[in-house]
Structure 1
Amino acid sequence: MTMIAQWMQGLVNYVRAAEPDLTNRQLAVLLLVHYTSGPHTVRGLAEALAVSKPVITRALDKLANLGFLARQADEADGRNVFIVGTSRGGAFLAKFEDYFGNNAAERSAFARDNGIIVHH
């Protein structure tokens, strides 16, 4: 299955599961915080995604409301705020990964059942 077909499979499964509806930016922020080393800041996330700080702040507001990320004060400098992953966010990402199929048999079955032409 091509990468795009696998991505389609994952997104279709995700939508069918009625999980929270995240934008691409929100998902990118969530993935960056959970899968890259920190500390993460609004400024650093904005630079990593080439977007403005208000874009990151809006994404963080949604993700924090869902309990997927949290803001944590820097104990060394109270002016700084770090963005940290939560166990709930980690659990969501583990389920999200499962939507893409864990093995070739699952991916092939999805392709067959949904009329996807598999290119090798």
Structure 2
Amino acid sequence: MPELYGGAPELKPVEALSLWHDVVVQSVRNDGPDLSSRQLAIMFTVYLDPPPHTVRGLAAALGVSKPAITRALDTLGSLDLLKRSRDEADRRNVLVSRTMKGSGFMEEFAELIIRSSRGALT
């Protein structure tokens, strides 16, 4: 089987869909928040890409409007998964940063993906 990402087996399309299906089903069964794809994309970007993160930068990275990012951040902020603050160096910018609760959420989500992938790859 061809390899992808440093030795992991490459998934066939139906296996990839099955894996993502399992991840999504498990995530909605958890007690945690049920995030939209846009909200998850923002979480992945903030937690995987090096800071600083701004509303403008997230909008550009994800190819969506600033108001769409703002709406998603309203929800993520109310869940204490991310926080916003003014950039003191440039008051026009709004910085987006991690929270402890958000870090825990992402660690749990990663574990969910790992557990689901074990079933998909066996």
The TM-score normalised by the length of structure 1 is 0.80
Q: Unaligned 5+ residue runs, structure 2?
A: 1-10
1:74 equivalent among 83, 87, 104 = 87
Distance 2:81 2:116 in 1: 27
Q: Give the partner amino acid of 1:50.
A: G
Number of aligned residues: 109
Q: Give the partner amino acid of 1:48.
A: A
Distance 2:112 2:41 in 1: 17
Taking the TM superposition and a 5 Å limit, the aligned residue runs for 1:27-106 are 27-102=40-115, 106=118
Question: Kindly tell me: are residues 103 and 55 of structure 1, through their superposed partners in 2, closer, same or farther at Cα, counting changes over 3 Å?
Answer: closer
What is the CA-CA distance between 1:103 and the residue it aligns to?
7.6
Q: Secondary structure at the match of 1:99?
A: helix
Q: Give the partner amino acid of 1:107.
A: G
1:107 is matched with which residue? Answer: 119
Distance 1:12 1:79 in 2: 40
Q: Does structure 1 conserve the Cα–Cα contact (< 8 Å) formed by 2:55 and 2:93?
A: no
What is the CA-CA distance between 1:50 and the residue it aligns to?
0.8
Post-superposition Cα deviations, 1:29-62, rounded to whole Å, max 9, x if no partner, equal 1110111012111111001111110000000000
What is the CA-CA distance between 1:100 and the residue it aligns to?
2.2
Q: Percent identity?
A: 43
Distance 1:50 1:103 in 2: 29
RCO higher in structure (CA 8 A, sep ≥6):
1
Distance 2:92 2:72 in 1: 21
Larger strand proportion of the pair: 2
Q: Does structure 2 conserve the Cα–Cα contact (< 8 Å) formed by 1:11 and 1:99?
A: no
Q: Is 1:21 equivalent to 2:19 in the alignment?
A: no
What is the CA-CA distance between 1:9 and the residue it aligns to?
1.2
Question: Kindly tell me: are residues 107 and 38 of structure 1, through their superposed partners in 2, closer, same or farther at Cα, counting changes over 3 Å?
Answer: same
Q: Unaligned 5+ residue runs, structure 1?
A: 109-117
Q: Does structure 1 conserve the Cα–Cα contact (< 8 Å) formed by 2:22 and 2:116?
A: no
